[in-house]
């Protein structure tokens, strides 16, 4: 059996960040291994806000058109008050400039964003390896040896670089004792994709007071979910509820 060449880079985590890096490496003909311990792609809408700077990156990677086609602009925010519903624009809009060609954030469910990135990666001849969990790291002056649990058993892969794109509970970060500085917001939050009848698709529905210690609930309807989940666009919403 011919020897499989060692990759230059191991990317741990096949979410949006890992896929973006993989595309950039693939188009530069840099060998890599993209792994994720999950059995398959993420299926929720969780990270659904595509900011203008991200759109610039996606344009450079050749995926902006399919990202735009997968979602749309943010709807108005509809606040339900004691006096009745009040609609407010989610953002102040301005025209594009050479320095900032994209001005409007997009609303695209995370699973569709990642699907677009996987399609682009496939066009470049690569794919993520799901069910591959990083279990150990040994680093020296010449590179890193990664122990990976695969469906067919454990293997050790040698590479020049290991990139941790494995989320907030990153195994890579914890293994290397890298801090995760930040601040505590003092709130508890729940984000879920739910089926909700009677919620229109023309607004981001908000109840309660987001800036106080009272319970706040918001439903941002994702019109594009029906193409995968087989429900009508008016029934699937992403719900966020938080309280102090």
Residue that terminates a domain, selected from 153, 178, 203: 178
Domain that holds residue 215: 188-243
Same domain, 172 and 206: no
Is 76 a domain residue? no
Residue that terminates a domain, selected from 178, 199, 214: 178
Same domain, 33 and 133: yes
Is 228 a domain residue? yes
Same domain, 169 and 196: no
Same domain, 133 and 239: no
At 136 the pLDDT is 97
Query: What is the pTM (predicted TM-score) of this model?
Result: 0.83
Element holding 44 (H helix, E strand) = none
Same domain, 134 and 237: no
Positions in the chain whose pLDDT score sits under 50: 1-3, 213, 223-237, 239, 242-244
Is 30 a domain residue? yes
Residue 31 burial (CB < 10 Å; 0-12/13-18/19+)?
middle
Q: List, in order, residues 6 or more apart from 155 with CB less than 8 Å away.
A: 147, 148
Is 7 a domain residue? yes
Same domain, 195 and 238: yes
Total domains, the chain: 2
State both tokens at 142: 């010449």
User: What does the pLDDT look like over 31-78, one tens digit per residue?
Assistant: 999 999 999 999 988 888 899 999 999 999 999 999 999 988 888 889
SS3 1: coil
**Are the C-beta atoms of 91 and 104 separated by less than 8 Å?**
yes
Task: Round to whole Å and give the CA distance between 73 and 107.
Answer: 6
**Are the C-beta atoms of 24 and 46 separated by less than 8 Å?**
no
Same domain, 193 and 168: no
List the CATH number of the domain containing 148. 3.50.50.60
At 225 the pLDDT is 41
State both tokens at 51: 């900011």
At 152 the pLDDT is 95
At 231 the pLDDT is 33
């Amino acid at each position: 059996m011919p020897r499989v060449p060692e990759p230059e880079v191991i990317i741990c985590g096949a979410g949006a960040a890992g896929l973006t890096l993989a595309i950039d490496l693939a188009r530069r003909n840099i060998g890599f291994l993209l792994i994720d311990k999950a059995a398959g792609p993420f299926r929720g809408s969780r990270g659904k806000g595509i900011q203008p700077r991200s759109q610039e990156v996606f344009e450079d990677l050749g995926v902006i058109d399919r990202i735009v086609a997968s979602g749309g602009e943010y709807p108005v925010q509809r606040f339900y008050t004691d006096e009745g519903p009040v609609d407010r624009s989610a953002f102040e809009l301005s025209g594009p400039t050479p320095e900032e060609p994209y001005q409007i954030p997009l609303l695209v469910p995370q699973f569709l964003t990642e699907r677009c990135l996987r399609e682009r990666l496939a066009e470049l001849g690569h794919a993520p390896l799901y069910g591959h969990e990083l279990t150990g790291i040994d680093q020296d002056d010449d590179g890193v040896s990664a122990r990976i649990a695969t469906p067919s058993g454990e293997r050790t892969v040698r590479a020049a670089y290991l990139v941790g794109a494995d989320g907030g509970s990153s195994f890579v970060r914890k293994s290397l004792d890298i801090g995760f500085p930040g601040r505590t917001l003092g709130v508890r939050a729940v984000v879920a994709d739910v089926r909700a009848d009677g919620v229109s698709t023309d607004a981001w529905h908000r109840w309660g007071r987001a800036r106080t210690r009272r319970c706040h609930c918001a439903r941002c309807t994702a019109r594009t979910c029906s193409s995968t989940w087989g429900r009508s666009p008016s029934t699937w919403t992403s719900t966020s509820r938080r309280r102090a």
